[in-house]
Amino acid sequence: MDEVPVVINSFLAYKETIQNCSPLTVKEYYNDLRTFFRYIIAKRGGKDLSELEQVDISSVDLTLAGSVSTDEIYSFLLFLSKEKNNRSAALARKLSAIKSFYKYHTQKSKKLTENPAREIDSPNIKHPLPKYLSLDESIRLLKSIKSDSITKERDYCIITLFLNCGMRLSELVGIDLNDISDDMSKLTVTGKGRKMRTIYLNDACRNALEAYLKVRAQKAMSKGKTIIDKNALFLSGKNRRISNKTVQWLIKKQLAESGLEGKGYSVHKLRHTAATLMYNTGNVDIRALQDILGHEQLNTTQIYTHVSDKKLEEAMKANPLSNINTDKEN
């Protein structure tokens, strides 16, 4: 990011190198801070706020950043809410970027003395219950892959890993051949913050991997082609590492093939499905589920404890007082 103002660039470098944030997360920080400082410059200059994308932020320096008031941050959030229809989650994310920026420059670089965002509360975010496929729908999705498809083994393996392991899209795309143990009992994925974790594979995953690996090289090198990304597990039609967009397109296509289109399902909903099926049907401990999903905070995982009415019913019946009725004895 050579054209990014130094005051912003130093913060982004800290997030990427010291806090080990992913390039995508760093880019999101930049986009949010760029929008914020565009607003500050435009507002102070009396410019049209409907054309923020045209505002140049190259003038942003420590002096400008240090002159921002708490009221201006509130004004920015109000603008996003009223004029841009940003909801609580989007507002919270942008405010988090601003808070992190000022926290860095007041506590780490110590080039600023005042943090105008410090006392601003983050908007309350309503977390809807996760949408997920039922067991029957999951089986329908797996069965939807056509037997004559040239990529059937790859596509089946991708969907199997999603539904059984609950991995993120970026984690699946990033799997290398050497991430898989020799006996195919486990694999290593790189999650958020570049943190690595081990995922243990069940029979369905091992069988799907074995079937795909038997034909991976043969199909990739058909018609004289060569494999470009030799260590990537999943390859695209161009023999490069499969992209996020290709996997998203694949899942969308298979959801349509299985008659599940239009229900709000997506790649990420397959992660929800794996977590929900493990918790509701497999009686997986919540802390084990936290490790499987790679959640830093337990409260992120706990959303899956609220999706099973059957579990709630069973818990009530398990109370030793559930069969006691003293009225009949009196």
Q: What is the pLDDT of residue 1?
A: 47
173 in the same domain as 258: yes
Is residue 207 one of the residues assigned to a domain? yes
Please indicate, yes or no, if residue 115 is contained in any of the structural domains: no
117 located within any domain:
no
pLDDT tier at 200, thresholds 50, 70, 90: confident
Set 27, 43, 295, 311: catalytic member: 295
Q: Does 222 fall in a domain?
A: yes
The first and second tokens of residue 73, run together, are 């941050």
Does residue 289 share a domain with residue 175? yes
| Nearest CA-CA partner of 86 in 100, 71, 97, 70 | 97
Give the C-alpha separation, 114 to 68, whole Å: 10
**In terms of domains, do 241 and 300 share one?**
yes
Query: Average pLDDT for residues 318-326, to the nearest whole number?
Result: 65
Query: Rounded CA gap, 70 and 115, in Å?
Result: 9
Does the annotation count 287 as an active-site position?
Answer: no
- Per-residue pLDDT for 3 more than 60? yes
88 in a structural domain = yes
Shared-domain flag, residues 99 and 161: no
144 domain residue, yes or no: yes
Least confident of 107-116, 120-129, 161-170, 285-294: 285-294
Backbone phi and psi for residue 89, each to the nearest 5 degrees, phi listed first: -65, -40
pLDDT of residue 50: 87
**Catalytic residue check, 295:** yes
> In this structure, which amino acid lies at residue 114?
E
Determine which of 119-133, 149-163, 307-321 has the lowest per-residue pLDDT on average.
307-321
User: Is residue 326 a part of any domain in this protein?
Assistant: no
How many C-beta atoms surround the C-beta of residue 67 within 10 A? 12
pLDDT over 80 at 223, yes or no: no
Q: Say whether both 94 and 145 belong to one domain.
A: no
Structure pTM? 0.62
For position 181, which CATH number holds? 1.10.443.10
Among candidate residues 15, 271, 272, 279, the one labeled active-site is: 271
- Do 12 and 139 have their domain in common? no
Percent of the chain whose predicted confidence (pLDDT) is above 70:
83
Q: Is the pLDDT of residue 2 over 80?
A: no
The answer to whether residue 151 scores a pLDDT higher than 50 is yes
What the block records as the tokens of 112 is: 């600023």
Residues 104 and 162 in one domain: no
pLDDT at 311 exceeding the cut of 60: no
Give yes or no for residue 104 having a pLDDT over 90: yes
Three-class DSSP category at 192 = helix
Q: Does pLDDT of 202 surpass 50?
A: yes
Q: Give CA torsion, residues 280, 284, 286, 290, to 10 deg.
A: -110
Q: Are residues 165 and 237 in the same domain?
A: yes
Quick one: tokens of 137? 């729908």
Q: What is the DSSP letter of 261?
A: T
The catalytically annotated residue of 14, 29, 104, 304 is: 304
Domain boundary among 108, 126, 158: 108
CA contacts within 13 A on the Cβ side of 174: 15
pLDDT digits (tens, 9 = 90+) for 241-270: 999 999 999 999 999 999 998 888 888 888
Instruction: Assess whether 140 and 280 both reside in one domain.
Output: yes
What average pLDDT is seen over the chain? 86
Give yes or no: residues 186 and 289 share one domain. yes
Known catalytic residue at 306 = no
Active-site residue flag, 30: no
pLDDT digits (tens, 9 = 90+) for 117-136: 999 998 876 666 678 888 89
- What average pLDDT does the segment 129-149 reach? 87
265 a catalytic residue: no
In a domain, 228, yes or no: yes
Q: Find the domain containing 61 and state its range.
A: 6-108
The answer on 94 and 140 residing in a single domain is no
Check if 14 is active-site.
no
Which residue in the list 34, 168, 216, 269 is annotated as catalytic?
168
Q: What is the mean pLDDT of residues 97-105?
A: 97
Q: How many domains does the chain have?
A: 2
* pLDDT at residue 66 in the model: 96
Q: What is the pLDDT of residue 323?
A: 66
Question: Same domain for 33 and 157?
Answer: no
Which one from 192, 206, 253, 311 is the annotated catalytic residue? Answer: 192
Which tokens go with 74?
A: 């509130």
Give pLDDT, residue 315: 60
Q: Name the range with the highest mean pLDDT among 174-178, 193-197, 298-302.
A: 174-178
